[in-house]
A and B are shown apart, each in its own frame.
Chain A
Amino acid sequence: MTLNEQLKTIIIEELNLEDVTVEEIEDDAPLFGEGLELDSLDAVELVVQVQKHFGVEIKDIEEGRMAFESINALRHFIEERMTP
């Protein structure tokens, strides 16, 4: 499973997205504002899940803005911080 697929699975399972499959989530689509219809409290949950699964902390609003742009952006954000 690629990191993108892993992220999509986490989003679907941990945020309880009904009627959404991994294939339906586009890599470049925005996570918030349109498409997945995630709201501000989902952002809180996503911050927690990213830390829980990858040990990566989204420290402030600027990092959040960057990481939550899309699945690709989130993957990039995590990879950058996981690299030793």
Chain B
Amino acid sequence: MQQTDKQETDKKQHQWTGRNLGTRFGHNIFYALIHLGGKRLGYFALHWVVLYYVLCRPSVRRRSYPYLHHRFPKQRLLTRYVTCYRMFLEMGRVLVDRAILGIMGADKMKFTIHGRQELLELVEKNHGFILLMSHVGCWQVAVSALNFLKVPVNLLLEQEEDNIDRHYVNYADATSLIQIIDPGSYLGGTLLMLDVLKKGEVVCMMGDRVFGSEKSCLLVDFLGENVPFPFSAFKIASATGAPIVVFFSYKTGYDSYTLKVAKIIHVPRNLGRSGESFRPYVTQFVDELELYTREYPYQFFNFYNMWQ
């Protein structure tokens, strides 16, 4: 039910959304700094801003604790401050990078893509595919690097005015093949997703964030405790026959990112309505996500209690 979906989404938004990452004003200051002094000035200012948030804004600092507690369960308080600082700093760098991407273009970044050939082969088959990403690394960088596919990439993204994820899209290159599907549109955009997949296009969505009703979620073990993960992508994959490509990005250097096809999941056709049918496939995604947090613990950016 769309109304119910909306209410559930609103409830979730009280917990965490892109708009919790500072005000639009704050982001605009960073955009201005980057315009004036480039990336180095942005990164320099970042250290002080992060230090302020870690030391003086306990409510913000505490948002990182649920994840840090699960990822580093034996950590003491002082070490927790340090890991929190490292995580916020990584987050800030990613925000600066994506502003750079929007303002100066993708050629300011170096990408290494692992699985490029697999992606091209999927495009060649013309059945479309679902790029299942997560709030790790910089998904905007990952999406911006997909122009080589030469097919539209339809990004499921909320269209609210104060959602900072939208800033990037607003700044994005006009030649970009990125199109937006609004989950707040008719039937959560699902019919549109079916439509573009049929045309052989790419649908890109986040596998770690609940859009709409929590009915569409399964509880799956993540870092030792159950977390609700949506099975919507898997349901759409089953309905259309489109494969799911688990795709992550990693910041690997000052101006370099690695983008990786972590796994390609083929969901059998017509698995039905029950969420349980999708458990083995959702679990595969979650296992990949957990592996990511083992390798790049400071690039996991879900600042709310997923385990609640």
Contact = CB atoms under 8 A, between A and B. Distances in A.
Query: Do A and B make up one complex?
Result: yes
Interface of A: 14-16, 32-34, 37-45, 47-48, 52, 58-61, 64-65, 68
Given A37-B1, A64-B187, A65-B186, 5 more contacts: A41-B235, A43-B191, A47-B239, A48-B239, A64-B186
Given A16-B273, A43-B190, A47-B194, A37 B236 contact: no
Contacts of B264: none
Contacts of A58: 191
A47 B192 CA distance: 12
B15 interface: no
Contacts of A64: 186-187, 191
Interface majority SS (helix, strand, loop, mixed), chain B: helix
Given A47-B239, A61-B186, A65-B186, A39 B2 contact: yes
Q: Which of B2, B272, B273 has the largest number of chain A CB atoms within 10 A? A: B273
Given A15-B273, A16-B274, A40 B190 contact: yes
Contacts of B235: 41, 44-45
Q: Which of B194, B212, B274 has the largest number of chain A CB atoms within 10 A? A: B194
A75 B19 CA distance: 43
Nearest to A63: B191
Given A32-B187, A47-B239, A38 B1 contact: yes
A64 B188 CA distance: 12
Q: Which of A38, A43, A61, A64 has the largest number of chain B CB atoms within 10 A? A: A61
8 contacts: A14-B272, A15-B273, A39-B212, A40-B190, A41-B216, A41-B235, A58-B191, A59-B198
A60 B191 contact: yes
B213 interface: yes
A52 B212 CA distance: 27
Contact of B216 (A15, A39, A59): A39
B4 interface: yes
Contacts of A60: 191-192, 195
